[in-house]
Amino acid sequence: MCFITMFIILGIYGTMHSSVHDELTVYVNRTHQIASELKNAMDENYPKENQTNIDKHGRVWMTVEELESYSYLIDKTYSTVWKLFFWNLVLSILFFPIVLAVHMEWIAGNGAKLAYRVVLVIGLLFCIYQFLYLVHPVFWGAVRFPGMMDRLFLEAYPRDQYHIESIQRRFACEFKPHETLVQLDLQQSCIPKMKNSLLPTYSTLLLIFIDLFPFLFGAFVYAWSAWIKNSQVVRTARQRVELNNSRRVPFPTQNIYSPPDRDTKLVEV
């Protein structure tokens, strides 16, 4: 069930992310090209020591290295989401019939038990492998994307104005909308619109929780058997439940009431 839930969530948010990914990738690559040309031309506005700086006009400039890290994170996050989607789908298709057959007792014997244990071990190993990729780059990318969007389109330079206009036409929005027109719903801001399509942080936390759920459940079962069920608080609660159940009046299992005959006369007292 964890694999099925994972590939459904990854498919939904991967599809949403795809609507912005292509435009964002092209914009970052074109901006990187502009920054590289400024660096090679030794433009006075471009940072000289590979660090973000502010020029005499008060503009903040991004470095080639920063834009390269943005491009890598965007591509790596996108490809990882779809790779995890694919593997969760494949494992769900392969494992679900085996697990269902064992639990429904359609197959039995030592061979069935061995197959179930092999499936369990492979699934747990994959969860560990998947957890590493969910932390980085998926979760790290989801955390970085909002600030990255602000920096690329609003806060820092260089900017590819031609592609900015292309994004505004495609998404029917403005990067610098007029507040009054936004309140009248005559304009939409591009930044919130694009951020809502990117992979959100809360969804990656949900994915991490689902991925770790088998380990958390196993730890709880072990803790319950080893300590929790024998603790004073739980023991007292269980005794109270058992006592309340013993005091209940059992309901009749059969309806033994039969209505009187029509000819029967009622006796007045």
The pTM of the full predicted model, rounded to 2 decimals, is: 0.81
State pLDDT tens for residues 151-161: 999 999 899 99
Tell me the DSSP string of 4-65: HHHHHHHHHHHHHHHHHHHHHHHHHHHHHHHHHHHHHTT-TTS-SSSS-EE-TTS-EE--HH
**pLDDT tens track for 227-265:** 887 788 878 887 888 888 777 766 666 666 666 666 655
